[in-house]
Amino acid sequence: MNISPVHFIAVPLLAAFLIPIIGRFSKEFVKVIPGIVLLYLSYVAISLFPVALKTPIVEVLAGWKPPFGISLVYGPLAAYLTALITLMGFVIWVYSYKFIIREPIEKYYMLFMLLITGSTGIILTGDIFNMFVFLEITAIAAYSLTAFLRDKDGAEAAFKYLLIGSFASSFFLLAVMLLYASTGTLNLAEITSKIDSVAMSTRILILILFLVGLGIEAELFPLNGWAPDAYSQAPSPIGAIFGGIVVKAAIYALMRLVFLLFNFSEVFHFLLIMGIITMIVAEMSAMKQQQIKRMLAFSSIGQMGLVIIAFSVGTSDSVQAALFQMFNHAVIKALLFFAAGYLVFHSGSKKISALDGLGRDKPLTSFFFALGALAIIGLPPFAGFWSKLYILISVADAGLITAVVLVLIASVIEAVYYLRVVSRLYFNKESAQETEVRRTPLTGLLAMGVLALVIIVVGIYPDYIWNLLKPAAEELVNKAEYIRIALLK
Amino acid sequence: MTSITGILGITFGAALLTFLLHHLVPKLRNIVAILAVGATGYIAWQMPIDSYMTHFTIGSFDIIWGNSEYSKLFALLISVLGFFALIYSHDFMAGKKRLGYYYMNFLIAIGSMYGIVYSQDLISLFFFWEIMTWSSFLLIIYCCKDSQQVGLKYFIFSAIGAYSILIALVLIYANLGSVTFIKVFAQFGSMSFEVQLSSVILLLIGFGVKSAIMPLHVWAPKSYAISPSPFTAVFSGALSKMGVFGIGIVLFKLASQGGYYIYVKEILAWIGGITALLATFYAVFQTDAKKLLAYSSVGQLGYIVVGLAIGTPLSIMAALFLAVLHAAFKGALFLATGAVYHRTGTTDMNEVSGLVRKMPYTFLTALMGIIAVSGVPPLGGFAGKWMLYQSLIESDHYFLVIVVFASSTAAFLYLYRYIFSLFLGQEEKEFEDVKEVSWLMRIPMLTLVIFTLVVGVAPGLLLEPISGAMGYLGVGATQFETTVIWNAWGNKIDMFTIMNSIGILFGIAFVFITVKGFKSGRYVTTKDIHTSGEVPTENENLTYAVDFYKPFERALGWVLKPSVDKFYNKIATNLEHAFDHLRYIYTGNGQTYAMYVVIFLVILIAFSELIFGVKL
């Protein structure tokens, strides 16, 4: 069997269908399947990466040539994002292996696989309606995973997510309908070549619908009300999935559409301002949070604001920096959620105030949290430093010094609330009663260790990843090239 | 492998190693740390001057590390002070918890300081700067109460400073396309006036935070007070000097290229002078020995800033001289205070007293230390202050010289209080069993004070490398010989003569006091007649270390009342309140969120002309 980008969608989808069936026979095997699938997908992602850098792969489904059939476009950008998603998915699986011990395990892994299917689908597809379908798959899996713990808070969070998410889907679908009505095609590349003939007002209406629809998933202020609840009520690995995978896919969709269809400076300005507002409001709200995972959720929103700022500067450099930041955020925030998961588990409370002195009892987990905190603030020699530096330089190159200052103010706020937690962890509390000794399982430590290692290695040697991102950034900026590739011209 | 990568590799490698050894062979951990810093000190000493030693690129950035005389001066300062502080740590930290954490962060801090002084481009400078910030932050929160607030305040100020540097960095990068020192030094003047001036100001703010110039100093007193004493020595002696290092570069390599140079210098000099004066007053009223020394450090850094900002050859020489000396004597003083803490468990000057007989070596260190701080000959402080006053008078800064002189005089107050409260006065029962600290702790302290003595007699030994460093800054040094400095009017000042005269004076005084003491001295007990017949109880306070300068405080308290620290705290609390209200945008109510979505959509549609320029 030749490896092809189709596997990114087909294999996890198949696994998602098989898991409930296999679950009837062996619970243990169910836990292993996602690992095998994601390992395979990571292998596919890595082995296809160089191919995509040379000549993008366009996979035509069902024998209909584009623009008529559904096609998958696997260029450098898609290659990068799928690699990120599958690798992160694998690490999250390793972490989940011992973390998710509550029934129904097979449902968890089934939804997890669906989430991977949906997210890779969003990134790979060259068809806008198809994109809608994958968005829905992702969203539905995400709603259910939010409520996975089946407690009151989880259900409430999931319901909010569902409520807001249904807005997203309907607006997105409406936009797709309008696009189809005005261009007569659903193929993204074909739409792009025809979009200029569409009346400006219709185009802007479509844009607004997309902005609202995808802005909800991409956590744009003020559409991100669902996010803090969903992140904090879902099991910790799911928080990592949301921050590391789902949002990344949504931002990809938003940016792909903006760069292809709505490439006006006003749109970029608007997004820049929205990005700044999103970042500032989120960081300010994170400041006084009582619960650690809610704090992480707000921080995620803030980071997405930063990514949006970088994207909306619109130069190739800034897009490259944004993609780098997406990578770093996926890795670092996953580490933070992982560590927070066990810190919450060990302290027995979701509250930040319960973390006093845990650095002594749980040195490794606390160390990982501290590392993640330093990294996400953007301190060297950790990964977050370089992406923030690249973003700031590209923003300053575009003459937007105010934006630079605002990003840095947000960073100061970020530093305050993260270090507050870190100093609590290392606060020498003379605890009278010895807490019950619970060990962080090896798989959890392994997953965190790998992420920590990536953070340090990328922090010391960022060039490898940075250079990989260059073609990806150019692909996003250059829409003529995309049309040429996607339409097999 | 070039020497700089060697130095950085050794320190950061040793940092990791100490952390691992902590769990495997704790004994080795300390030795590894000491050896690493010693070895890097040796490498730094031997390293040839080469401003383009290591060169590589990260992304599109040129990273250059090189050694200049200026770097060498500071690198040696870091290694020597770090070396002694680590030797001292061996016994001081013995038996404490989380030593792996302590040694790792200590070495990371030292390594990052090496990185800063060897950086020949802004990116690596900033890179190491931030590492220095977080490693020292982690050391501040190592122990003690209040560590959270204090650490956080330190970090916030550091972050503000670091981000000022970062903004300047991206500004310069956007204008010049490169931030290597070679390029920036050469072309800084070619940028527009606004960019130049804002970069200079931002960089000065950034470096000013670390060197604790007012009003950016508020983090310093408490951070110095609660960090472990060996690290406090490095903190005040070397880490704060990184700010001085940066200010030197900004002033003489960048700002000197613009027309605003003279104004920047003048303003900075005054800020430095006021810092020196106010910090001295604050120091006088401290009851905690480490806090007193912390404020004293702030004041001393004020002098150094004054010297740099005046910008004449003599003043720069004085500033760099004081910078090195301050590291030595303030290092010694912090170590001595640490020794007191080690034996008595407190640094509160109201509690500890009369240790002179129990800790004679520590007392000697403290005594020499305060003599050096106060600038009385024959110790090093004299030569430095002498040069500073001269340069101020010579450059017609008469008001400033009054300010500086006033603060220098006021410094006697707190220095006397320091030595009196801790070592002199009545012996307390509580501290009857106090013993002198071990030799491993004595040697570092004593070496540092001996250094100040040697340099005091023969300032030329230190002025030699300083003149090299000034060559790098593009300022010619003034004339000097080993034991002689020239004043601004060409007269020789021979330290030996001064040394001899002082020696004779002290000798006479010593003989006089001893002889007189034998005649009229007698042993005073607590139940002496001076209590007018009333027998004081055990716990009655007969030393006047408590409320030491009450009248002075009454007279001058109002000057110090409007505390900038309180102002910052107020801002912080208000911001926190504002943020706390703001977070209720996220009400937790799904209906509200849905409303937001709809309102957002409506706004976009209604104002589409405004936002996107197209009417729907």
Of B372, B317, B320, B325, the residue nearest B487 (C-alpha): B317
CB A15 within 8 A of CB A116: no
Q: How far apart are CA B585 and CA B593, in angstroms?
A: 9
In angstroms, what separates the C-alpha of A90 from chain B's closest C-alpha? 28
Contact residues, A window 81-110, toward B, CB-based 8 Å cutoff? none
**Structure tokens, A343:** 């810190």
Cross-strand bridge partners of residue A235:
none
Mean pLDDT to the nearest integer, A237-265: 88
CA distance A75 to B318: 63
- Among the partner-chain residues B127, B594, B608, the one whose CB lies closest to the CB of A163 is B594
When comparing pLDDT for B526 and A482, which is higher? Answer: A482
Structure tokens belonging to residue B415 = 């220095």
Residues A254-297: tens digit of each pLDDT: 999 999 888 888 889 999 999 999 999 999 988 888 888 889 99
For the entire predicted model, the pTM comes to: 0.91
Which residue(s) pair with A351 in the sheet? A291
Written as six digits, the tokens of A34 are 């996602």
Q: Is residue A334 part of a domain?
A: yes
The first and second tokens of residue A358, run together, are 């845990």
CB B188 within 8 A of CB B261: no
CA distance linking residue A389 with residue A379, whole number of Å: 10
Structural domain boundaries enclosing A123: 6-486
- Interface touch A379/B152, C-beta < 8 Å: no
What is the 3-state composition of chain A as percent helix, strand, coil, each rounded to the nearest 5? 80, 5, 20
User: Which residue from A164, A267, A397 is facing B594, i.e. has the nearest CB?
Assistant: A164
Yes or no, beta carbons of A419 and B151 under 8 Å apart = yes
Residue with tokens 């998958």: A72
Give the tens place of pLDDT for each residue, B376-398.
777 777 888 888 888 888 888 88
Kindly state whether residue A43 falls inside one of the protein's structural domains.
yes
Q: How far apart are CA B565 and CA B568, in angstroms?
A: 5
**Mutation target among B586, B596, B603, B609 for the A interface, most CBs of A within 10 A:** B586
Q: What is the pLDDT of residue A432?
A: 46
C-alpha to C-alpha distance for B380 and B195, rounded to whole angstroms:
41
Query: Using an 8 Å Cβ cutoff, are B27 and B94 in contact?
Result: no
- Report the C-alpha gap between B466 and B324 in whole angstroms: 9
Q: Determine, for residues A393 and B59 on separate chains, whether the beta-carbon distance falls below 8 Å.
A: no
Chain A residues with CB under 8 Å of B592 CB are 225
* pLDDT value, residue B117: 92
Q: How many domains does chain A have?
A: 1
Closest to B284 in 3D by CA, of B416, B102, B94, B187: B416
Angle at A270 between CA A269 and CA A271, to 5 degrees: 90
What stretch of H or E contains B362? helix B360-374
* Tokens 């601004």, located at residue: B488
A419 contacts A412 by C-beta, under 8 angstroms: no
DSSP B183-236: HHHHHGGGS-HHHHHHHHHHHHHHHHHHTT-TTS-TTHHHHHHHS-HHHHHHII
Count the helix, strand and coil residues of chain B and give each as a percent rounded to the nearest 5: 75, 5, 20
d(CA A134, CA A122): 6
Q: Is residue A198 part of a domain?
A: yes
A297 touching chain B per CB within 8 A: no
At CA B321, angle to CA B318 and CA B323, rounded to 5? 110
Contact B257, B196 (CB under 8 A): yes
Q: Is the peptide bond before A380 cis (omega within 30 degrees of 0)?
A: no
Helix orientation angle between A316-347 and A442-460, rounded to the nearest 10 degrees: 150
The residue with greater pLDDT, A41 or A431, is A41
Q: Hey, what long-range contacts does B471-475 have (CB within 8 A, 24 or more apart)?
A: B471/B69, B472/B68, B472/B69, B472/B70, B473/B70, B473/B248, B473/B249, B473/B252, B473/B253, B473/B316, B474/B252, B474/B253, B474/B256, B475/B252, B475/B311, B475/B313, B475/B316
Interface A:B, Cβ pairs < 8 A: 171
* Chain A residues close to B97, C-beta within 8 Å: 360, 428
- The C-alpha angle with vertex B352 and arms to B349 and B353, in degrees rounded to 5, equals 100
Cβ–Cβ below 8 Å for A404 and B170: yes
Q: Do A216 and B597 touch (CB under 8 A)?
A: yes
Query: Which burial class, exposed, middle or buried, applies to B51 when counting CB atoms under 10 A from its CB (0-12, 13-18, 19+)?
Result: middle
Region A123-144: mean pLDDT is 90
Report whether B376 contacts B329 (CB < 8 A): no
Chain B CB contacts of A286 below 8 Å: 583
DSSP 3-state assignment of B52?
Answer: strand
Sign of the Cα torsion B78, B84, B87, B88 reads negative
| Within-domain flag for A51 | yes
Regions of chain B where pLDDT drops below 50: none
- And the tokens for B598? 């709809």
Which stretches does DSSP call E strand in B409-501?
484-486, 492-494
Both structure tokens of A3: 């490896």
* Residue A79, in any domain of the structure: yes
Contact yes or no for B593 and A163 at CB 8 A: yes
Residue A1 lies in a domain: no
Chain B environment of A390 (Cβ under 8 Å): 59
Task: Output the average pLDDT for chain A.
Answer: 87
Provide the pLDDT for residue B541: 59
Quote the tokens at residue B301.
Answer: 């850094």
Is A208 part of a structural domain of the chain?
yes
Q: Residues A309, A403: contact at Cβ < 8 Å?
A: yes
Contacts of B130 in chain A (CB under 8 A): 379-380, 385
SS3 state of residue B121: strand
- Strand B50-58 versus strand B61-67 pairing type: antiparallel
Note the pLDDT tens digit of each residue in A45-102. 888 888 888 888 887 776 666 667 778 888 889 899 999 999 999 999 998 888 766 7
pLDDT tens for each residue of B190-247: 888 888 999 999 999 999 998 888 888 888 888 888 888 899 999 988 999 999 999 9
Whether A123 contacts A85, CB under 8 Å: yes
Given a contact cutoff of 8 angstroms between Cβ atoms, the answer to whether A309 and A255 are in contact is no
Phi-psi category of residue A151: left, alpha or beta, with phi > 0 → left and psi -120 to 50 → alpha: beta
Answer whether residue A30 is part of any domain: yes
